[in-house]
Structure 1
Amino acid sequence: MALSNNQKAYLAMVFMQLLYAGMALLSKAALNKGMSCLVFVVYRQATATLAMAPFACIVERKKASSLSLAVFCKIFLLALFGPTLSMDLYYIALRHTTATFASASINVIPAMTFLIAIILRMETVDWRRIYGQSKILGVVLCLGGAVVLSLYQGPSLQILHWHVLLASRPGGSFISFHGEEEMKTLVKGPLLMFLAFVAWSTWVIMQAKMLKDYKAKLSLTTLQCLLSTIQTGVIAVAFDRNLDSWRLGWNLQLISVIYCGLFVSGVSYWLQLWCIEKKGPVYVAMFSPLSVLITAIIAAVVWAELLYLGSILGGVLIIGGLYCVLWGKSKEVRHVSVENVASEAPKDKMVDIETV
């Protein structure tokens, strides 16, 4: 049975959040091994460019739009806000915080994107309609779930026991700093993370506008990765001139670079563009909280991290909020389509009368 566009978009976004959950865990592990965060972004974007370029050339060699100077400048700014600034700030912040906090703080993206979209009139909220109220309630529930998941631990749930020694250690973060170092970076990490997500939300909104000028999504993804490789390369050379930082071995750092470059910067960026074109930027941003829940589940199943009541409650709120927004969006689309049909009906009748 063929899937509808709504089902495809939903599955694509869930798959994206799976990729992002893996990114937070692997990236933190690579950075803890001493890899330069700025160099990491360069290698990640370069890997994505090399992986996506052949597909873009083969699939869209006839479909790609002409690249004028104005369009190129827009793509340059798009790459600067998204893959460059947001990723550099994210990984610098990741050096000063934990993977759990990084994953949890992603949940500011839906509200931030929603607000920017309203300001730019790309998203409407009809307070009088139930679908408008549902969208607002969904955003509030997602943010509430993120707060619960991040700040409330509660009692542990004794569900998984196959790694007794691992399960007996305290939970709370997958790979974390301890003691004085954590206290020193308590403000710096969250502040940089917040700025990274401001840049990310702006990037998601800008992509929705960019797709009107350049519709070849694979080529657009590849161009962004290419330009970001150059931009992040300049930044890395300017701030990290240690040649040892650029060396990669057959280790966890290489695995993390390949994973983040191929699957996150490559596949997920393309899926994101496709979903933005079909459903809009706010729809895409609303799935961000799922990565927190997925990260907690992966840690519990694979590494036998203790699962706490706060994680379950936060997950329920996040899923409930996501459902409210998706329900509100679907009702809004139906309402708008019905209104459009109703407004066009008199015109059709007038045409029929004139032809008679």
Structure 2
Amino acid sequence: MALLSNQKACLAMIFTQLLYAGMALLSKAALNKGMSYLVFVVYRQATATVALAPFAYILERGKASSLSFIVFCKIFLLSLFGLTLSMDLYYMALRHTSATFASATINLIPAITFVIAVLLRMETLNWRRIHGQCKILGVVLCASGAIVISLYQGPPLKLLQWHAQVLSPPGASSVSYPGPGEKKTQIKGPLLMFAAFISWSSWVVTQSEMLKAYPAKLSLTTLQCLLSTIQSSVIAVAVDRNRNSWILGWNMQLISVIYCGVLVSGVSYCLQIWCIEKKGPVYVSMFSPLSVILTAIVSALIWSELLYFGSVLGGVLIVGGLYFVLWGKSKETRAARLENAIATSGVPKDKMAEVESA
């Protein structure tokens, strides 16, 4: 039980990435059916707001602090640049590139988050200590894995492709879904995707500071989802004038909206904010590659998508990088506790060697 208690944050992030894997599969199916990506974001955030609001009211009715105008403005900007724009840019980029490229480049989020956190001095980096070197090595491995997946395909692995003829119609493509009449471009899509990841990484990094100003986690998440609903609605109405885009039937689109709204924008956001408070933004971002690996495996099993050697090799590098960062982070935390214990207990400085060997 003690071990399980110490690994709560890790288990929460693994569960979060399982939710994101499901989001990738369901949202892909909804967009393939012709659903507008801008409208999808609106319904997703609105569903999350409705699902979270009762819990925020009941559980934090006496805990939520007063909301000043300055704090509200900060939350509004975080919602705009961290949630609304990141999702709109991400789904817009999918119309100009492939889903495979999107899944590969999402692995750059840990590296981007790490750089932003270090620049803002929210993440410590001691180049001379083993835990600092492990964190750097882990980020490099994750970035290398993303590059391998993006640039190297290799031979296909047909081990998991066991019922392609049953579920996949002849000639169907399952790795990309550009919008009607739109062609994939080599520059626009990647630039939009990269901008989306910078926006999301910035949101992750700034959450820890936002929690100091407004510590009610559920209420903060609900308010951000509400503001994002309003913001994305304005963008959707301004860009997409087709009224039929807003019609939802009892189909995969509705299932995808409910799943992404309740479980992804609702549950996963709360879990991530909690983990950011406990472990920091870099710790949270390092788990993002897991959803891509899980999505690739499930897609190969269910949709019979081809899994290539380059994807497997990149996945191994990503998992290795994740392990190095988590190991370095745990060693850093342990060393900080030992240093604090030595400082408070008055132990001579020559005992600091014990910290280095821990």
Q: TM > 0.5 between the two?
A: yes
Deviation (angstroms), 1:40: 1.2
Q: Structure 1 CA distance, aligned partners of 2:28 and 2:340?
A: 49
Aligned partner letter, 2:286: M
Q: Structure 2 CA distance, aligned partners of 1:240 and 1:315?
A: 37
Deviation (angstroms), 1:5: 4.7
Contact kept, 8 Å, 2:162 with 2:301, in 1: the verdict is: no
Structural mapping, 1:47-126, within 5 Å: 47-126=47-126
Q: Structure 2 CA distance, aligned partners of 1:114 and 1:171?
A: 39
Deviation (angstroms), 1:2: 5.1
Deviation (angstroms), 1:96: 2.0
Contact kept, 8 Å, 1:138 with 1:324, in 2: the verdict is: yes
2:146 is aligned with 1:146 = yes
SS in 2 for 1:106: helix
What's the counterpart of residue 329 of structure 2?
329
Contact kept, 8 Å, 1:171 with 1:305, in 2: the verdict is: no
Q: Structure 2 CA distance, aligned partners of 1:148 and 1:111?
A: 15
Deviation (angstroms), 1:126: 0.8
Structural mapping, 1:121-132, within 5 Å: 121-132=121-132
Contact kept, 8 Å, 1:131 with 1:331, in 2: the verdict is: yes
What's the counterpart of residue 303 of structure 1?
303
Deviation (angstroms), 1:173: 5.1
Aligned partner letter, 2:190: P
Contact kept, 8 Å, 1:89 with 1:193, in 2: the verdict is: yes
Q: Structure 1 CA distance, aligned partners of 2:100 and 2:174?
A: 5
Q: Structure 2 CA distance, aligned partners of 1:168 and 1:37?
A: 25
What's the counterpart of residue 251 of structure 1?
251
What's the counterpart of residue 175 of structure 2?
174
Deviation (angstroms), 1:210: 0.5
CA spacing shift, 1:15–1:169, aligned 2, 3 Å: farther
SS in 2 for 1:30: helix
Contact kept, 8 Å, 2:95 with 2:182, in 1: the verdict is: no
Q: Structure 2 CA distance, aligned partners of 1:233 and 1:164?
A: 39
Q: Structure 1 CA distance, aligned partners of 2:74 and 2:183?
A: 39
2:258 is aligned with 1:262 = no
Q: Structure 2 CA distance, aligned partners of 1:300 and 1:138?
A: 27
What's the counterpart of residue 10 of structure 2?
10
Aligned partner letter, 1:80: L
Contact kept, 8 Å, 2:94 with 2:177, in 1: the verdict is: no
SS in 1 for 2:231: helix
CA spacing shift, 1:53–1:3, aligned 2, 3 Å: farther
Q: Structure 1 CA distance, aligned partners of 2:172 and 2:293?
A: 15
SS in 2 for 1:289: helix
CA spacing shift, 1:246–1:176, aligned 2, 3 Å: closer
**Number of equivalent positions:** 347
Give a deviation string over 1:218-263, Cα, whole Å, max 9, x none: 1111010011111111111222222122111112211211111111
Aligned partner letter, 1:298: V
What's the counterpart of residue 354 of structure 1?
none
What's the counterpart of residue 239 of structure 2?
239
Give a deviation string over 1:184-204, Cα, whole Å, max 9, x none: x23211111111111111111
Indicate the larger mover: 313-322 or 301-310: 301-310
Give a deviation string over 1:266-321, Cα, whole Å, max 9, x none: 11100100100110001011111112211111111222223222222112111111
Structural mapping, 1:280-319, within 5 Å: 280-319=280-319
SS in 1 for 2:65: coil
What's the counterpart of residue 220 of structure 2?
220
What's the counterpart of residue 206 of structure 1?
206
Q: Structure 2 CA distance, aligned partners of 1:91 and 1:191?
A: 13
Give a deviation string over 1:153-204, Cα, whole Å, max 9, x none: 22223423531526898999534459x9544x23211111111111111111
Q: Structure 2 CA distance, aligned partners of 1:137 and 1:239?
A: 43
CA spacing shift, 1:22–1:215, aligned 2, 3 Å: same
Aligned partner letter, 1:111: A
SS in 2 for 1:107: helix
Q: Structure 2 CA distance, aligned partners of 1:4 and 1:63?
A: 28
Contact kept, 8 Å, 2:161 with 2:301, in 1: the verdict is: no
| Unaligned runs of at least 5 residues, structure 1 | 348-356
What's the counterpart of residue 190 of structure 2?
190
Contact kept, 8 Å, 2:82 with 2:203, in 1: the verdict is: yes
Alignment root-mean-square deviation, CA: 2.4
What's the counterpart of residue 277 of structure 2?
277
Aligned partner letter, 1:301: L
Q: What TM-score results when the alignment is normalised by the length of structure 1?
A: 0.91
Deviation (angstroms), 1:60: 1.3
Aligned partner letter, 1:47: T
Q: What TM-score results when the alignment is normalised by the length of structure 2?
A: 0.90
| Unaligned runs of at least 5 residues, structure 2 | 348-358
Q: Structure 2 CA distance, aligned partners of 1:181 and 1:84?
A: 23
